[in-house]
Amino acid sequence: MRIVRKARLGYPMDNQSNYMMEWSFDDGLPLDIIHVQRHGSTDLHTHHFSELVIVLQGSGLHISPAGSYTIAAGDVFVLHGNQAHGYQDTAELELVNILFRVDELAIPLLDVTSLPGWHALFTLEPLFRERDSFESRLRLTADQLQIISDLLRRLIHEHESAIAGNTLASLAYFILIVVELSRYYSHIEDPSAQQLLRLGRVIGHIQENYAEQFTLDDLAQVGYMSRRTLTREFKRTMNCSPIEYLIRLRINRAIDLLRRSNASITDIACRVGFQDSSYFARQFRAIVGYSPRQFRERDTH
């Protein structure tokens, strides 16, 4: 399971400090991999990228302003750039950090968004952890960890090679890791993860079927919860209601169509799920600040 790249990473501990960790991505690809065989204690820090952490062996205490929790072999979690975190009391802690900027990777998500585990791992769990010290996270079995370790080894090999096509191959292995982890998370039976997976099912359903007509009752049924619980938990986590999330998603899809097609505004409104083009125009202006027609004219000049 050895994936040698970096031997040791550690910083002097000072619980009062909170600094920004800088990192330069090589070759213009917003993806990098750090393998740490013996992870030392670190200050609280933030950074300008997201981080997928996979613990290979050993243990330690992962700390944040909201609290701390023990991590061990098989633990997997995601940290986003604005989330201060660090490590204490590490014991033979070996882990791999995959650093990435998701908005710049242009990952073809396709049907991975239908997996509740994708939303739970990459969106919901980081929000819960930051806000509530939520300790649910993906814990791989020994067999699952071996599969992910093999993919990590291939990812690192491609990322560090100078062979033509290594950039695309690196991205491909990263996507394979993301898909495998999302699948594993989608089948967690631990009750502590079920709340995230229920919300993940709702978000996945909205993203997969945003152009269709459905009600809050329909979404509550998808998430196996009441309307009241869905509205409360969704707003508590995403800072908006499920219907507000749906409208924003439809507007984002409409923006894409306005930019890359010559379809009429009425046709675009219908394509993204609005049955009334006037209502579509009002919602578009409220979110974007311009009418759809004004947006198209500004974007093409």
Q: How far apart are CA 13 and CA 1, in angstroms?
A: 29
Give the chain as a DSSP string: ----SEEEE-----TT-EEEEP---GGG-SEEEEEEEEE----EEEESSEEEEEEEEEEEEEEETTEEEEEETTEEEEE-TT--BEEEEEEEEEEEEEEE-HHHH----GGGGG-HHHHIIIIIHHHHHHHH-----EE--HHHHHHHHHHHHHHHHHHH--STTHHHHHHHHHHHHHHHHHHHHHT---HHHHHHHHHHHHHHHHHHSTTS---HHHHHHHTTS-HHHHHHHHHHHHSS-HHHHHHHHHHHHHHHHHHH----HHHHHHHTT-S-HHHHHHHHHHHHSS-HHHHHHHHT-
Cα–Cα distances in angstroms (integers) from residue 232 to residues 20, 139, 225, 237, 245, in the given order? 34, 28, 11, 9, 14
Write the pLDDT tens digit of every residue in 257-289: 999 999 999 999 999 999 999 999 999 999 999
Do 198 and 225 form a contact (C-beta atoms < 8 A)? yes
pLDDT at 135 (0 to 100): 61
User: Which residue type is seen at 99?
Assistant: L
pLDDT at 17 (0 to 100): 42
**Residue 99 vs residue 300, higher pLDDT:** 99
Of 240, 179, 248, residue with least CA distance to 210: 248
- Both tokens of residue 49? 């990228």
Domain(s) labelled CATH 2.60.120.280 in the chain stretch across 6-186
Domain(s) labelled CATH 1.10.10.60 in the chain stretch across 246-299
Residue indicated by tokens 């290594």:
166
pLDDT at 269 (0 to 100): 96
pLDDT at 179 (0 to 100): 92
| 34-49 mean pLDDT | 88
Q: Is the pLDDT of residue 300 over 70?
A: no
Burial environment of residue 271 by CB neighbours within 10 A (0 to 12, 13 to 18, 19 or more): middle
| 181-207 mean pLDDT | 87
Binned at pLDDT 50, 70 and 90, residue 219 comes out as: very high
Write the pLDDT tens digit of every residue in 139-190: 999 999 999 999 999 999 998 888 888 888 988 899 999 999 999 998 887 7
pLDDT at 275 (0 to 100): 93
**Is domain 246-299 given the CATH code 1.50.10.100 in the classification?**
no
| 286-298 mean pLDDT | 92
Q: How far apart are CA 221 and CA 40, in angstroms?
A: 46
pLDDT at 109 (0 to 100): 61
pLDDT at 148 (0 to 100): 96
Q: Is the pLDDT of residue 20 over 50?
A: no
Binned at pLDDT 50, 70 and 90, residue 2 comes out as: very low
User: Which residue type is seen at 195?
Assistant: Q
Q: How far apart are CA 137 and CA 75, in angstroms?
A: 7
Write the pLDDT tens digit of every residue in 229-243: 999 989 988 889 999
Write the pLDDT tens digit of every residue in 86-116: 999 999 999 999 998 876 666 666 677 778 8
- CA 83, 122, 104, 250: dihedral to nearest 10 degrees? -110
pLDDT at 3 (0 to 100): 39
CATH of domain 6-186: 2.60.120.280
Binned at pLDDT 50, 70 and 90, residue 31 comes out as: confident
pLDDT at 18 (0 to 100): 42
